[in-house]
Every structure is written in structure tokens, then in C-alpha cells.
Structure 1
Amino acid sequence: MQDRSIIHLNITDFAVAVERVCDRSLVAVPLLIAPENAARGIVHDMSEEAYQDGVRKGMSLSRARRYCPAARILSPRLPVYRKAMTALVNEVVCYTPLVEQGQEDGHLFMDVTGTHRLHGPPPDIAWRLRKRVLSGLGLDPMWSLGSNKLVAKIASRVVRPSGEIIVGAGEEHAFLKPLPLSLLPGLRNTEQKILTDFNLVTIGDLARLSKQQLRLPFRKRGDYLYNASRGRDASPVLPGVDRRLRIIREHVFAEDTERAEELRTVCSIFVHEIGHCLRKRKIQARRVVVSLMYCDGRSASRQATDKQGTDNSFMLRSLALKALGSAWKRRIRVRSCSIIADQFLPRSPQPSLFCMHSVRELQQQKLLAAMDAVADRFGSAVLRSGSCW
């Protein structure tokens, strides 16, 4: 089987980089990208200077100002960042159609396996692409080359905020062995704490454990940790990933809260808005993600899935509350709550022959159809669903 060649292209502090291209006077000035006039603004992005002073994404603006008082604050311009991301992708697709982008955050994966006859060796592609992006867009990306997405992602974290690195096939173990566990993508805070209690501090330490040993404290997650610590990742580069294929709702509380009814109310309101949007687009979501930002700057995200997909707001609410229950484990006040619906499927116009709906589900469908009709005519804010906790 041919070894894969995956390039991870990353523009560090993407929003800041775009703002500095638009206004050269901002170069070398500490910057915070945050809604300046919001009563409880949260840092969207920050420059390397602010990062060195201790500012982090998701931190409250008031706290970030204390850490970096010399920083200049700019309100986020999401349409500009989205346009810059589109321009970056357009520069990349001429080398390979297998380009996977995430959010408008300046990073993407490229699968250049087998393209050497057209464009030369993968390192040459990365070098030319960096020069092309720098000259054409004014953005200076760092890049890493690995045999899979996980290794390439870790490699880019090693050279942050700028530079390049190549991890050849077969070199994964030697490369990962001395690195701290904090560089391992997808490692949860609770999992890292358990590993620290076991006196495991490097990825190499983790790789010494067998799959059976990891399954004891981590259950199914043990399989991921076993493979990740050895640099194994079979996930493909998925082209055509579009931010618009995610429906997101976010709420920042006027005051940090620890009240369960407030969090559940926010989730209920959001899922009914999302459900209305899904039904209008005639699509169904298979996953609901709930993300909580705590007042100390730490965050937690959990998901709940429906393999068949659904656009039923009541079922979406059940998924959201299940994810909320898994995410909300700390006795710390919550600053903001966001809900993401994704992994969409087109809704079939023909009812299933083998799916028998209960009387309750049929009543819910009729109710949602009536609510949609009212929302389309008078706006979604005129109706709200109620619940008894």
C-alpha cells in the first residue's frame, strides 16, 4: 500500500493575519479580535504578542485586557475572514482536489499522494504553495508534511508560530516519543489529568501501554489513544467541507450561570430554531454538539447522534440535553453555550415503508408544521415551546 503524503497548511492567528494584511500599521502591534462594545465579550483570536502575555481564545475580554493592557482591540469581521479563507482554498486546489478545510481559521489539509509526476515531490509542493500564498495573498503559512492527518497536525503544533517540518513515513514513533501529551489532538482535559496521575507525561510514555491497559480507565477512547500515540490515523482528507454545512447558535449569558434551567432553556430555544432551519432546507442532522465555555476560560464539548438523522425539534432537543448532561460536569459557572448541528442528510420526500411513527410523533409533526407556518409568516420569535422540568 502506498504511503500517504498529507500536508497541513496553517496560518497562525488567522484573523489577526488577515487584519494585518488589510492594515499594515497593525504589524507588530498586540491585537485582540473581540467584540469591543459587548458587555461580556469573548476573545475570538489574538496575536502572538498577546498570546505570550497569557491571552487565550475564549477568554473574557476584561481578563484579556488585564493580561495585555497594550493590546489594540478590533471587532471580528467574519465575512472578511471567510473571503480570505476562500481565496486560500482557491490557491491550494490547483495542486490537489483533496483539500479539507475546517472553520474560517486558516488551516487545511491536502492529500498530495500520487501527484509527484504533475507537481513534483510533496515538500516542493509545500514550498511553492507557501511562496504563492505569500505573494498572492500576503499571508505567510507554516506547513508540515506527514503520513497522515494526525501526524501532520502534531508537527504543525511543534513549529508554531512559523516554520516547516517533514515527518517521513516510518519516522512517526521517533518524532512523537519525546513530545508532551498536550500536543496530542483530541486529548481531553480529564484524560490528560488521569495520565498525569499515572506519571505519563510524553506521547512515548502513552505508547508503552497496551490497548487492554488503556481500555480499563478510558473504555472505547482507549483505542483512539492507543493508535494516536503510535501515529496511526486512517481518516481520509475529505474535500468539499464547507462551514455553511453547520448550523450554529451561541448565547453569552448576561451573568455567568450555574442554573440548570437557564442552560436547558437556551438549548431548547436553539434546537427549535435549528429544527425550523433544517425543515426549510429539507435536510436532517445526524449530530448535535453542545459546547460550554466556563468562566475560567476552559471549555467542554460533547455530542449526541442519531444515525438516521432528524429534523424533529423535539428529538433534537433530546439529543441536545443528552450532550449538555455529558458536557456539564464541572462545578464552575458557565459563561456561554453554543449548539452545533451537522452531518446532514437530505430528507427523503417519500415516507419509509418500514418506519412506523407513534401517535406522539405524528402529533409532533403536525405541531411543528403549524409552528413553521406561523414562523414563516410572522417570524420565529412569536412562538416558543414550553417544558416542565
Structure 2
Amino acid sequence: MTDQSWRAPILHVDMDAFYASVATRDRPELADVPVIVGGGSRGVVLSANYLARKSGVRSALPMTRARRLCPHAVVIPPDFETFGQVSASVMECFRRVTPIVEALSLDEAFLDVRGATRRLGSPAEIAEQVRTTIHDEQGITCSVGVAATVSVAKLASRRAKPDGVVVVPPAQVTAFLHPLDVGELWGVGEKTRDMLHRLGLVTVGDVAHTPVQTLQRVVGHQLGGHLHDLAWGTDRRALTPRAGPHEPDRSMGADETFARDTDDPEVIRRELLRLSSRVATRMRTAGVAGRTVTLKVRFADFTTLTRSRTLPEATDVTVEIHHTATSLFDALGLQRARLRLVGVRVEGLVPRETVHRQLVLGERDHGWADADRAVDRATRRFGNAAVRPASLLRPA
């Protein structure tokens, strides 16, 4: 049979249940057991393997509900350092194939392989090679969609799950797209889907055969034109190379759900210090710094607020990030409001070597940045508990 993928050079590679797969790859006893990766009883699901998903467990589901849906699941706490290392290795595998890699997250990316076909074969053959390499090197599986445009490739990878390849050549795009529910289009959220359904536009084919001017009158000029392009699979073909979470327009963050709702400002400030330290350590490991610090607080009734502040210079220093986060918290003036969750995020990341700090007259030769790096060296050698702020030490 003739390989029909030659005119479909865009690959969307998506790891299968990435966090759960990484967490269990060295634990063969969990191969046939439902597994959930997530926080404590009051946290949320980060990932679940396919056995747990059969019971209705999904990402972002509250852990209490996930446990009710799948009471026999094994719950594993997340190991973000390992996830980051595996992701970096996966992205490096992609770049051995092509330099045009647009990473969407730790576990998925688009690849433009048109420059690699002479060396490696057709896009379908390259997709199979990528799957084999990732399985052999990382011990996890992935699914690959192959198409001429990014949105169709993304939908194709969803159809390929788990551990498969689906090719949608240009001649088959409409046959592939038009029977689908309009909610499956990439970027169409629940509200847009419900609105389109109310208008009688249930399938992608319904949208495709609605005049674009009509769509624009109903949902707005920009969205109407975008939906029309998606419905015919004619959206953008060019990729923007991105190196994953370390790109300047990316961010790093961490949050924590308290075991009990708390209104104690000292407890909250200590947790902000713990989170700031975790985020700053990840940034230094990745060799990036950021200017915008964002605080997230979630109240007992699940109402969530975020506040941000942009610093004069990019930083990866724990004390500076923590100071900014706590000042944002103090500025809220919560008056003993009970909190369920707090989070710290640093945005606008840039490579650390591009940051040049302004010297201050009378400033010490060695400061908090040097202290952080000394702590990093100690923890790499002796473990994460080797050095920590005194306020985070548990009483004996």
C-alpha cells in the first residue's frame, strides 16, 4: 500500500498518561493496577493511568472524588524533578529528528519533519521511529498524529491513543473531521460547544457547511473565521520552535492544598516560603530566571484569586520570590479568611545567562543568590533535606 503520509509533515506527539507512566515505569507490580498521581486527600488528580480512567478518574478531579470512583487505585505523590528530566530527554529525542519542535507542555509537542524525510523516511515512518525510541530510552509510550496542519494532527493523536499512530492525509481531512462533534475541535471549549449546539451546529461538518459570514455574525468575527478554518482543516501549518517549559513565554509554579482550611497567616507565609523555594530550585536547575511573580489563593468555598507583580530584574533567588509572594498576600488584607490552597508562580522566564543584575553601591560581594547555589550543591550531594530554611524545620 502506498504511504499516504508524504504530504502530511506535521506530527503531534503526546505521551500516554505521562505522569502516571513515569511514576510506574520502574514498578512492574503496578502494571495491572489502577494508579492515580496526585496530592493528599484534599488535592487534585495530576494524572491517572488508563485502568483508573476506566472508572472515570480524570486530571484535575478532586482526590476525594477520585478515590470514591476508584477505591482500589494506588495513589502516588508527584515527583516533578523526575518528570522534568524525562520530559527534557523526550524533547531531545524530538530534536534529533528535526530542529522545528513546538513544545506545548512537558508531555506533548508538534514536530515539522519535512526536512527529515530524505534522511529518515516518510512522516508515518518517522512517527513509528519516534515511538520506538521513546519507549526504548524512557520506558513509556506515546501516541502520534500525522497530518498537514497542527489542529488535525492534534485530533489524530487523540484518536491514536494509547500507543499508536493515526495518519490523516490531506485527501482524507474532511472525511476524518466532519463526523466529529464540534466540541472535539482543538480550542473549542465547553461554553462554545454548548452555544454551537444550541444553534444546531452539532458536528464539525455542520460548522464547515455554514457560511463563514453567518458564523461571524453569531460568534464574532475572529472566532467565526477560526472555526471555519478548523472545520476544514486549513489552520496554520508553520510551527514556532519552542524548547518546552524553559522558553521565555513559559512559567514555573507550584501550589499546595492545606490538610485543613487555615486562616493562620504564619502558616500561610511558611507555605509560601516552601513553594517559593521549590519553584526557585526548579528554575535554577533549568537555568532560567523570571520577572513576574504570581500568587494564587483558593478560599474554602473554592473561590480563587490571583495577584501578580513584575520585578525590575529577572530573578531565580528564593528570598526575592518569597518576599514578593508574601507582600502580594499581605496586600490582599484577608482578615482571617480561611484558605484551602496557595500557589506561587514565576512567569516571563528567560535564560539565566542573559540576565545582568544592576550592581548596587555598598552591596555585599556574596548574597542570597550565592547562598541558594550553595544550598543546591548540598542538596544534590546529600538530599533535599540537607539544608532548608529554619522556619520550615519540623519540631523534634
TM-score using structure 1 length: 0.67
Cα distance, 1:171–1:33 mapped onto 2, change above 3 Å: same
Which residue is equivalent to 2:227? 225
Which of 238, 241, 244 is the equivalent residue of 1:242? 244
> Gaps spanning 5+ residues in structure 2: where?
1-5, 263-267, 315-320, 329-338, 357-366, 372-388, 392-396
Question: Is the contact made by 2:255 and 2:342 (CA closer than 8 Å) also made in structure 1?
Answer: yes
Matches within 5 A, 1:1-389: 5-35=9-39, 38-105=40-107, 107-219=108-220, 220-234=222-236, 236-245=238-247, 246-250=251-255, 252=257, 342=347
CA distance in 2, matches of 1:33, 1:343: 28
1:58 CA drift (Å)? 0.7
CA distance in 2, matches of 1:142, 1:234: 21
Question: Is the contact made by 2:12 and 2:146 (CA closer than 8 Å) also made in structure 1?
Answer: yes
User: Mean Cα displacement is larger for which, 136-145 or 77-86?
Assistant: 136-145
CA distance in 1, matches of 2:102, 2:73: 33
User: Mean Cα displacement is larger for which, 51-60 or 236-245?
Assistant: 236-245
| 3-state DSSP of counterpart to 2:25 | helix
CA distance in 1, matches of 2:126, 2:289: 41
Note the alpha carbon deviations across 1:274-296, whole angstroms, 9 max, x for none: xxx89xx77656x9898999989
| 3-state DSSP of counterpart to 1:10 | strand
Cα distance, 1:290–1:108 mapped onto 2, change above 3 Å: farther
CA distance in 2, matches of 1:223, 1:151: 17
CA distance in 2, matches of 1:167, 1:256: 50
1:97 CA drift (Å)? 1.2
* Residue identity in the other structure for 1:156: S
| 3-state DSSP of counterpart to 1:143 | strand
1:77 CA drift (Å)? 0.9
CA distance in 2, matches of 1:292, 1:111: 40
Question: Is the contact made by 1:256 and 1:295 (CA closer than 8 Å) also made in structure 2?
Answer: no
CA distance in 2, matches of 1:162, 1:292: 37
| 3-state DSSP of counterpart to 2:91 | helix
| 3-state DSSP of counterpart to 1:250 | strand
User: Mean Cα displacement is larger for which, 39-48 or 216-225?
Assistant: 216-225
CA distance in 2, matches of 1:119, 1:204: 35
Question: Is the contact made by 2:145 and 2:157 (CA closer than 8 Å) also made in structure 1?
Answer: yes
1:337 CA drift (Å)? 7.3
* Residue identity in the other structure for 1:138: G
Question: Is the contact made by 1:292 and 1:335 (CA closer than 8 Å) also made in structure 2?
Answer: yes
Question: Is the contact made by 1:4 and 1:111 (CA closer than 8 Å) also made in structure 2?
Answer: no
1:209 CA drift (Å)? 2.1
1:211 CA drift (Å)? 2.6
| 3-state DSSP of counterpart to 1:113 | coil
CA distance in 2, matches of 1:99, 1:197: 38
Q: Please, what is the CA RMSD of the aligned residues?
A: 4.7
Number of equivalences: 328
| 3-state DSSP of counterpart to 1:171 | helix
1:26 CA drift (Å)? 1.0
Question: Is the contact made by 2:216 and 2:223 (CA closer than 8 Å) also made in structure 1?
Answer: yes
| 3-state DSSP of counterpart to 2:56 | coil
CA distance in 2, matches of 1:69, 1:137: 29
Cα distance, 1:345–1:24 mapped onto 2, change above 3 Å: closer
1:141 CA drift (Å)? 1.9
* Residue identity in the other structure for 2:62: S
> Gaps spanning 5+ residues in structure 1: where?
258-264, 321-333, 350-372, 383-389
Question: Is the contact made by 2:299 and 2:340 (CA closer than 8 Å) also made in structure 1?
Answer: yes
Question: Is the contact made by 1:181 and 1:202 (CA closer than 8 Å) also made in structure 2?
Answer: yes
* Residue identity in the other structure for 1:49: L
CA distance in 2, matches of 1:55, 1:237: 33
* Residue identity in the other structure for 2:233: G
* Residue identity in the other structure for 1:88: V
1:29 CA drift (Å)? 0.7
Question: Is the contact made by 1:289 and 1:341 (CA closer than 8 Å) also made in structure 2?
Answer: no
1:151 CA drift (Å)? 0.7
1:338 CA drift (Å)? 6.0
TM-score using structure 2 length: 0.66
CA distance in 2, matches of 1:375, 1:341: 16
* Residue identity in the other structure for 2:24: R
* Residue identity in the other structure for 1:198: L
Cα distance, 1:196–1:248 mapped onto 2, change above 3 Å: same
1:127 CA drift (Å)? 1.5
* Residue identity in the other structure for 1:223: G
